[in-house]
A and B are shown apart, each in its own frame.
Chain A
């Protein structure tokens, strides 16, 4: 897959990386209190600054949130990329196929099984042990939904039908969650609804280590699957004829995607549209289908999109904070519409 444009790709990487860095600093500086970029840089480099409050805001609140934004963007984008390749469906993505809904159900189920009157927010504040529990529950939920989708995809090869099935599976899981909500106290419902808005700010420094490890591991695993994903570009029959073990590859891809989407959903709530939109933006930016280039660039583009959404959701200069899920939907949906309009033939838009 050595296209002659390797030099071009390196330049693209450098540009993307600089944009990520810029938005990262901007995200730290902007918010209800605006902190100058040079002060932000000083704080990050460990130098003392006059305003101690700024130091606390940056290190204790904004830095974890900004790192979370990068992790969320990277993980969901890479997960979406894998699913688009596996299902050969340009509209596949964690939120569309009901994977995030499955992850939500996993989180909800754990709370029911525990029998305690807790919600995701309450469990999240328990510490590291329970954060693994959340990741496990939401990943298992995501994995189960993906298995159902995969089983159905064997019988139906039609892209649009697959999407409808995904939406229906998502509806079933949402229905189960809403039955649970119906029997819960109003305060819990309120907290659950807050969780579904998506939040990048709820991840503590300890949990950030867990999340960072999982996302890093998941992205590394995906990168190791590059050759497999490239072979799958031509469809499973071709991939098998080239000696690929289809069953094992499929399970690996689903496992990695579930863990990535599950961990993010568990910690930050269901965040939509990043997973579908970013792989397409990346493909049109780099003009390639080679996963060895696409995976690292999806990480960067995903981080850019999520940082950008986070900056907007903070409404710089005001004390208002908008739900981040609403912002990703407002930016992501037009991108998805643009994909459908631009490429009339969905099947060839990889």
Chain B
């Protein structure tokens, strides 16, 4: 397996407080490979950061070992480690007076002389890191002037400039809105695509992880299940990991939902395509049950653009989902009386 970068063998991580040890995660046998984007997925407070700090060599594991490129992590010198592994953290506090170029060139720290002057080669690598992350156009701006999304891209550029085989990101999208989050994941996908590096990213955002990860490290029951995201959905591990009283995983929509206390009217929904999908989502949210035979009501969805794409009970023509829900509730109430 020449593509394998990192391997952990019965690893346990946690804290040593005074004389007692607090194990957060144990029995970890995990792998990272070049060309793969791995998502460390788990609820907040499940020990994702502790694992990341242990793999990055910031914190000592309680037991077991981490092998990085065939060498035990504890035996790699900090300087050598800095050329193999780089970090992007949640932390928003970057000095506002630093320019984007200055921050990205800090990534060359392990390679520069004692004064930190950049050689021609260093400069071309910084340039490449800025180009690959789409941050070149604001290289002269100060960090304080950037938006949260731009700043995280710059932090990723800094990690790239460190020229490592492995980049680890700890909740880099925690402060970002959805378009920025999607953009960051898209960028990370591009960065693993050429097979030159592995990326590990921790997140608590299930939908983004499912959509983007090649592999999931799923935190559950103080250990981690490793596998393709789809496999972990199908074998029920994902639902188990995030299970909470009253929440259930909707397998067809790929998201968690609150279980409905009251069983709504049974609806036969017919049609296909995008409009069908969103109609289904809306009906489920409103508490209706979807069935395959005509029991209470029927709704037919027309995919082609007409003014009234929804037909209820074969007679009412409806123009929007909002009106559809009003109509169904009305019919339901009439029925009850």
Q: Is B115 a contact partner of A233 (Cβ separation < 8 A)? A: no
Judged by a CB distance under 8 angstroms, whether A227 is at the interface is yes
Within 8 A of B (CB), among A218-249: 224, 226-227, 230-231, 233-235, 237-238, 240-245
Q: Is B109 a contact partner of A242 (Cβ separation < 8 A)? A: yes
Judged by a CB distance under 8 angstroms, whether A181 is at the interface is no
Within 8 A of A (CB), among B86-118: 86-87, 89, 91, 93-99, 101-103, 105-107, 109-110, 112, 114-118
A-chain residues with CB within 8 Å of residue B114 when the two chains form the complex: 224, 227
Q: Is A241 a contact partner of B105 (Cβ separation < 8 A)? A: no
Known: A1-B106, A241-B87. A348 touches B115 (CB 8 A): no
Q: Is A238 a contact partner of B115 (Cβ separation < 8 A)? A: no
Binds B, one of A103-111, A281-289, A314-322: A281-289
- Other A-B pairs, 6, CB within 8 Å; known A230-B116, A234-B106, A348-B144: A3-B102, A233-B94, A240-B57, A242-B162, A243-B80, A243-B109
Q: Is A289 a contact partner of B140 (Cβ separation < 8 A)? A: no
5 closest A-B pairs by beta carbon, nearest first, are A243-B82, A350-B95, A227-B116, A348-B96, A242-B109
Judged by a CB distance under 8 angstroms, whether B305 is at the interface is no
Q: Is A287 a contact partner of B97 (Cβ separation < 8 A)? A: yes
Give Cα A234 to B107, complex, Å.
11
Query: Chain A 67-107 against B: per-residue CB contact (8 Å), 1 yes, 0 no?
Result: 00000000000000000000010000000000000000000
The answer, among B53, B81, B98, for a CB contact under 8 Å with A289, is B98
Known: A238-B87, A292-B116. A233 touches B79 (CB 8 A): no
Known: A1-B116, A243-B82. A231 touches B97 (CB 8 A): no
Query: Chain B 104-136 against A: per-residue CB contact (8 Å), 1 yes, 0 no?
Result: 011101101011111000010000000000000
Judged by a CB distance under 8 angstroms, whether A349 is at the interface is yes
The answer, among A2, A88, A235, A343, for a CB contact under 8 Å with B117, is A2
B-chain residues with CB within 8 Å of residue A238 when the two chains form the complex: 87, 89
- 30 A-B pairs with C-beta separation under 8 A: A1-B102, A1-B118, A2-B123, A3-B102, A226-B115, A227-B109, A227-B114, A227-B116, A234-B94, A235-B89, A237-B53, A237-B91, A238-B87, A238-B89, A240-B57, A241-B85, A241-B86, A242-B86, A242-B107, A242-B109, A283-B97, A287-B97, A288-B97, A289-B97, A290-B98, A348-B93, A348-B94, A348-B143, A350-B97, A350-B98
Judged by a CB distance under 8 angstroms, whether A7 is at the interface is no
Judged by a CB distance under 8 angstroms, whether B78 is at the interface is yes
B-chain residues with CB within 8 Å of residue A4 when the two chains form the complex: 101, 140
Give Cα A288 to B103, complex, Å.
11
Give Cα A3 to B102, complex, Å.
6
Judged by a CB distance under 8 angstroms, whether A60 is at the interface is no
Query: Chain A 331-350 against B: per-residue CB contact (8 Å), 1 yes, 0 no?
Result: 00000000000010001111
Judged by a CB distance under 8 angstroms, whether B157 is at the interface is no
Q: Is A3 a contact partner of B99 (Cβ separation < 8 A)? A: yes
Smallest CB–CB gap between B105 and chain A, Å? Answer: 6
A-chain residues with CB within 8 Å of residue B107 when the two chains form the complex: 242
* Chain A residue at minimal CB-CB distance from B98: A289
User: Of B53, B81, B87, B109, which is in contact with the most chain A CB atoms at under 10 Å from its CB?
Assistant: B109
Smallest CB–CB gap between B128 and chain A, Å? Answer: 16
Q: Is A237 a contact partner of B89 (Cβ separation < 8 A)? A: yes
Query: Chain B 131-155 against A: per-residue CB contact (8 Å), 1 yes, 0 no?
Result: 0000000001011100000000000
Give Cα A55 to B170, complex, Å.
67
Smallest CB–CB gap between B169 and chain A, Å? Answer: 12
A-chain residues with CB within 8 Å of residue B97 when the two chains form the complex: 283, 287-289, 350
B-chain residues with CB within 8 Å of residue A347 when the two chains form the complex: 93
Q: Is A349 a contact partner of B96 (Cβ separation < 8 A)? A: yes
Number of B positions contacting A (CB below 8 A)? 42
B-chain residues with CB within 8 Å of residue A88 when the two chains form the complex: 93
Smallest CB–CB gap between B100 and chain A, Å? Answer: 10
The answer, among B86, B109, B140, for a CB contact under 8 Å with A244, is B109
* Chain B residue at minimal CB-CB distance from A88: B93
Known: A348-B94, A348-B95. A237 touches B115 (CB 8 A): no
* Chain A residue at minimal CB-CB distance from B104: A1
The answer, among A235, A290, A348, for a CB contact under 8 Å with B102, is A290
* Chain A residue at minimal CB-CB distance from B139: A4
* Chain B residue at minimal CB-CB distance from A348: B96
Give Cα A74 to B106, complex, Å.
27
Smallest CB–CB gap between A202 and chain B, Å? Answer: 37
Give Cα A289 to B96, complex, Å.
8
Within 8 A of B (CB), among A138-178: none
Judged by a CB distance under 8 angstroms, whether B58 is at the interface is yes
Give Cα A233 to B104, complex, Å.
12
A-chain residues with CB within 8 Å of residue B102 when the two chains form the complex: 1, 3, 288-290
Give Cα A116 to B89, complex, Å.
56
Give Cα A165 to B236, complex, Å.
50
Q: Is A242 a contact partner of B110 (Cβ separation < 8 A)? A: yes
The answer, among A233, A237, A241, A292, for a CB contact under 8 Å with B98, is A233
Judged by a CB distance under 8 angstroms, whether B56 is at the interface is yes
Give Cα A240 to B56, complex, Å.
10
Give Cα A13 to B95, complex, Å.
23
Smallest CB–CB gap between B286 and chain A, Å? Answer: 43
Within 8 A of B (CB), among A197-234: 224, 226-227, 230-231, 233-234
User: Of A88, A226, A240, A287, which is in contact with the most chain B CB atoms at under 10 Å from its CB?
Assistant: A240
B-chain residues with CB within 8 Å of residue A289 when the two chains form the complex: 95, 97-98, 102
Give Cα A110 to B82, complex, Å.
45
Known: A1-B106, A227-B109, A289-B102. A240 touches B58 (CB 8 A): yes
Give Cα A226 to B116, complex, Å.
8
Q: Is A243 a contact partner of B95 (Cβ separation < 8 A)? A: no
Smallest CB–CB gap between B35 and chain A, Å? Answer: 22
Give Cα A231 to B123, complex, Å.
17
* Chain B residue at minimal CB-CB distance from A343: B96
Known: A243-B78, A289-B97. A230 touches B106 (CB 8 A): yes
Smallest CB–CB gap between B69 and chain A, Å? Answer: 16
Smallest CB–CB gap between B148 and chain A, Å? Answer: 12
